[in-house]
Amino acid sequence: MTITSLAFLTPGNFADDDPYTGLEETLQLFEYGERLGYDGAWIRQRHLEHGVGSAAVFLAAAGQRTERVELGTAVIPIGYESPFRLAEDLALADVLSRGRLQIGFSTGMPHAELLGDLVYDGDWRAFDLSYGRVARVVDNLRGDYLGGPGTVIQSPGNTQRPRLQPHNPGLVDRIWYGGGSLRSARWAGENGLNLLSGNIVTGEGTDDFTTAQANLLAAYRRVRPTARVAIGRVIVPLDSADRATRTRYRDYAASRHARTLAPQGPRRTLFAPDVVGTAEQILEQLAADPVVPAVSELRLELPYEFRREEYEQILHDALHLVAPELGWRPARLEAAR
């Protein structure tokens, strides 16, 4: 078991009457994670909730507050997005961060019945809000010139061939797909995307979460055997938390445990249990997880609606007490060897 890349994923909570404070604390959490030595800091993109509605805007800000850490989004639901305009925003944020963006996508449009008519003119139900729309963003990020060889546009400063600007050719290799089904894993591999798999998958032929996730990773690797693959787990160490905080963590995990006992809903959604306990207990649980040894990249999925100081305690304990036992070493130490 050797984890070579350690990152965290945060929901970016804020209060309804004070969004600035929560967003600023999330930026500070990115700075804190970089100081600790994390390899990546990731944000969820959420709509109609107390969370970041535009990952590109947030990561542009995070790029100015950090210097080394990879900046990721897991995931952007493609149904809300204009493939070209989103590609422009992501390309700009990537250049401002000096090439540190890691972009995660998913299909669909949560809350579609509320937002579909606000996002689109016309019947959005007839539009492709699935894999094809993700592929269009990827194609735009490749930066191919528009029009024929002789097509040019006039700008106030020069004459140039038109394509998405700014263009960073390395960004297209840092695109991920949040796959929860065998079909999505195969599609991601066939289209050259890296694979993210979190604590939710579809139960296809099994009621066991880890079996389903292992099958998903195997389907992807049959197509792209050497590409980047990352899994996510909700990992909450108790070691340096006080008694009241420990109780809060355990109550949080208990409130979510029932959903892990059987497939949920018509899509047979399977949930991984939260990994809560002392570092020793967490390591025992991870050692029993057959998927963890199969990957080299781990994302800590931070719980929703916790406070900044609680997130910092979780990140501190996970990095110092858990990650080294999984074979992980800070990048700055590896570079010095």
pLDDT the model gives residue 37: 98
| pLDDT tens track for 100-121 | 999 999 999 999 999 999 999 9
Q: At what angle do helices 83-96 and 131-141 cross, to 10 degrees?
A: 50
pLDDT the model gives residue 331: 80
pLDDT the model gives residue 337: 45
Q: What percent of the chain has pLDDT over 90?
A: 95
pLDDT the model gives residue 53: 96
Whole-angstrom distance, CA of residue 241 vs CA of residue 243: 7
Q: What percent of the chain has pLDDT over 70?
A: 98
Q: Name the average pLDDT for the chain.
A: 95
Residue 253 has pLDDT above 50, yes or no: yes
Whole-angstrom distance, CA of residue 10 vs CA of residue 30: 9
Whole-angstrom distance, CA of residue 106 vs CA of residue 55: 13
pLDDT the model gives residue 155: 86
Cα dist from 55 to 35, 73, 78, 217, 307, whole Å: 22, 6, 12, 26, 21
| pLDDT tens track for 159-175 | 999 999 999 999 999 99
Enumerate residues 6+ apart whose C-beta is below 8 A from 196: 74, 75, 104, 176, 177, 178, 179, 230, 231, 232, 299
Contact 212, 234 (CB under 8 A): no
pLDDT the model gives residue 30: 98
Enumerate residues 6+ apart whose C-beta is below 8 A from 249: 236, 238, 241, 276
Mean pLDDT of 195-220: 97
pLDDT the model gives residue 333: 54
Task: Of 251, 256, 246, give the one whose Cα is nearest residue 278.
Answer: 246
pLDDT the model gives residue 157: 85
Residue 226 has pLDDT above 50, yes or no: yes
- Name residue, tokens 């961060």: 97
What are the start-end ranges of the H helices in 166-277? 182-190, 209-223, 243-255
Residue 334 has pLDDT above 80, yes or no: no
Mean pLDDT of 219-234: 97
Whole-angstrom distance, CA of residue 259 vs CA of residue 269: 9
| pLDDT tens track for 61-103 | 999 999 999 999 999 999 999 999 999 999 999 999 999 999 9
Task: Of 210, 114, 207, give the one whose Cα is nearest residue 197.
Answer: 210
Whole-angstrom distance, CA of residue 77 vs CA of residue 173: 19
Upper half-sphere CA count for residue 120 (Cβ side, 13 Å): 18
How buried is 258 (Cβ within 10 angstroms: 0-12 exposed, 13-18 middle, 19+ buried)?
Answer: exposed
Mean pLDDT of 313-337: 85
Mean pLDDT of 305-320: 97
| pLDDT tens track for 255-284 | 999 999 999 999 999 999 999 999 999 999
